[in-house]
A and B are shown apart, each in its own frame.
Chain A
């Protein structure tokens, strides 16, 4: 039985991980195709544009928060519970957040993909 405290920890991991992914995705779309920038302006420009993006830095902050939440939650519950639950729920949460904040068209095919992959990761990570 997973305690409410552990569920809160898992929710914290999932929400901050998805916030990080969504923020990074928006930052990269704003910067543009990194491959095209590298070909036309060089690798230095790619690195400069990425690390000077405030949104990219915000994404890194969310990822750090997710890692911290993971460490804290692992001190409350077993990795065999926290690992699969957080990894699989992040796929579902990503689909919701991308649909709302990135305006991505998440059709039935992408929902099925998210659900299948989430189920598979839950089984594989046990």
Chain B
């Protein structure tokens, strides 16, 4: 029984981290795809608003929108079992991924200021990721525990 419980807990922990990783990966890659697509159209102004309609048909923009929909789904899933003040900082590494993707695929320059920003975000994520994921209404759940309502737990 203890082994089964440990296996279940490990599975839930892995699922939790996979969903947080999905929030980061889908969010950053979605933004980079949108940026890549919009670059093909140049600056949009009042005189050439019709460019926006063309942009919606661009494969990069379509891919970016699909990735951002996946980001939103994984973000909502994470919010269903973890605090907002856990999910938002814990997924801030997406800014770091975005900087890396922008450097690799968009050939953007990563300055010393950017590296300092990346270091600050990494330290911030470290602070929150080592703590409990749910504290709402005074409850404190350890790593791997999920906030599953009783009705849902009995269903499962």
Quick one: which of A41-57 are within 8 Å of B by CB?
A: 41, 50
Contacts of A29 in B (CB 8 A): 79-80, 136, 147
- Please state if A25 and B121 are interface contacts (CB–CB under 8 Å): no
**Contact indicator per residue, chain A 55-92, by CB within 8 Å of chain B (1) or not (0):** 00000000000000000000000000000000000010
- Please state if B92 and A33 are interface contacts (CB–CB under 8 Å): no
Closest to B148 in A: A33
- Please state if A113 and B127 are interface contacts (CB–CB under 8 Å): yes
Given A29-B136, A33-B81, A120-B120; A40-B155 close (CB under 8 Å): yes
Contacts of A31 in B (CB 8 A): 80
A6 CB to closest chain B CB, in angstroms? 20
Quick one: which of B48-76 are within 8 Å of A by CB?
A: 76
Q: In the assembly, what is the distance between CA of A113 and CA of B90, in Å?
A: 9
Q: In the assembly, what is the distance between CA of A22 and CA of B136, in Å?
A: 12
Contacts of B122 in A (CB 8 A): 120
B84 an interface residue at 8 Å Cβ cutoff? yes
B6 an interface residue at 8 Å Cβ cutoff? no
Size class of the contact patch on chain B:
35 or more
Contacts of B147 in A (CB 8 A): 29, 33
Q: In the assembly, what is the distance between CA of A103 and CA of B139, in Å?
A: 10
- Please state if A109 and B117 are interface contacts (CB–CB under 8 Å): no
Contacts of B101 in A (CB 8 A): none
A-B pairs with beta carbons under 8 Å apart, 26 shown: A21-B88, A29-B80, A33-B81, A36-B153, A39-B156, A94-B84, A98-B84, A99-B85, A102-B136, A109-B130, A110-B128, A112-B127, A113-B125, A114-B89, A114-B124, A116-B124, A117-B120, A117-B121, A119-B124, A120-B92, A120-B116, A120-B117, A121-B92, A123-B116, A124-B96, A124-B114
Other than the given A40-B155, A123-B116, A124-B114, 18 more pairs (CB < 8 A) read: A22-B84, A25-B87, A28-B76, A33-B152, A34-B77, A36-B146, A36-B156, A94-B85, A98-B83, A98-B84, A103-B137, A103-B138, A104-B135, A105-B140, A112-B127, A117-B92, A119-B124, A121-B92
A residues sitting closer than 8 Å to B (CB atoms) are 21-22, 24-25, 28-29, 31-37, 39-41, 50, 91, 94-95, 98-99, 102-107, 109-110, 112-117, 119-126
